Amino acid sequence: MSAAACTPASMTPAPRADGRGWLVAPALVCLVAMFVYPFAYGLFLSFQPMEGGGVFANYLKFFSEPALWPTVLITLKLAVPATLINVGASIPAAFALRKSTRASKFVTMLLVIPVTLGTVLIADGMLTYYGPNGWFPQALHALGLYRDEVRLTHNYWGVLISLVISGFPFAFLLILSYVTGIDPTLARAAGTLGAGPWQQFRLIYLPLLVPGMTMAACLSFVQAFSVFPSAVLLGVPAGATRVVSIAAYEAAFESYDYSLASCVAIVMGFVQLLIVAGMLGARRAFYSGPTTGGKG
């Protein structure tokens, strides 16, 4: 009989607690302090209407006031096209720049420069470049391409252009990482079987790109849906570009109704959650297995 078998159970050393679990404590504390608590407090505050009328009074007011609920539709009219443009333009750009060369690296650097500028600086530059007396309208008139007044600021189009400029780099970088990670031998194998470039993209690259396209679309949509500086500086805050964030700002800092402002913010977050959940759910209909086998 071995010595281990003769050792009493009471003398067996107790397993040590894994201290690595404490490494997540700082991140967990930050998550609770910076997101969970503010969200819970805002949700609770939204059910405490300043003017009374029941716990759901703010939500009833939001969906009955002509100055409040249409802001959701206005924001969607900006966020959805901006998301489609950013993701749609990122795909051909990523394919064109997927090979690591000096030229592709230089062009990639140029495409991601707007990330360093910020929305306010982009808006200020657009006012100078796209304004009625800016370089772009003057160039169109000088070349005889357009005779009427060019209106690309202080309207819907100015805000949409700013969302594309600020959102494209994020979508492009994310999709570029997916494109360069797809095993190039898959397309070569399809080519040997007679598949043309379009068939290779449609049957091989596109299904494998769906996870990356979905994540890029989610990030681009959330960024565009929360638009505020561009809607104020380049749009019509009281009209065509009165987005949800402006309604929340007015409720909080003009009417000083923080309860209603919290309600608007909760509705804003709920709409974003629905759209993102829908996109993530639709992704499951496509292939979600391994896509890499070496860098392309």
Provide the pLDDT for residue 288.
52
Please state, in angstroms and rounded to a whole number, the distance separating the CA atoms of residues 293 and 296.
9
Q: 111 vs 103, 158, 170, 181, 249, CA distance in Å?
A: 12, 20, 10, 20, 32
The token duo for 174 is 């994310």
Tokens coding 4: 């281990």
> Residue 253 has what pLDDT?
92
> Residue 239's pLDDT is what?
86
User: What does the pLDDT read at residue 53?
Assistant: 82
Ranges in the chain, pLDDT < 70: 1-19, 286-296
Nearest-angstrom CA–CA distance, 120 and 3: 75
Residue 232: what pLDDT? 92
The pTM of this model reads 0.83
In this structure, what DSSP letter does residue 235 have?
Answer: S
Res 293: pLDDT: 42
- At 131 the pLDDT is 85
**What length is written for the chain?**
296
CA dihedral 262, 86, 203, 185 (to 10 degrees): -110
Query: What tokens were used for 248?
Result: 């929340």
CA 25 – CA 15 distance, rounded (Å): 22
The pLDDT of residue 11 is: 60
Give the model's pLDDT for residue 292. Answer: 47
Coil, strand or helix at 118: coil
Q: Which two tokens stand for residue 286?
A: 């496509």
Residue-wise pLDDT tens digits, 34-55: 889 988 999 999 999 988 888 8
* Tokens, residue 170: 């994020």
Instruction: Tell me what pLDDT residue 296 has.
Output: 39
What is the predicted pLDDT for the residue at 112? 86
Q: At residue 52, what are phi and psi to the nearest 5 degrees?
A: 75, -170
* Domains of the chain by start residue, with CATH: 74-246+270-286 (1.10.3720.10)
Nearby residues of 53 by Cβ (< 8 Å), 6 or more positions away: 60
pLDDT in tens, 103-138: 888 888 888 888 888 888 998 899 888 888 888 888
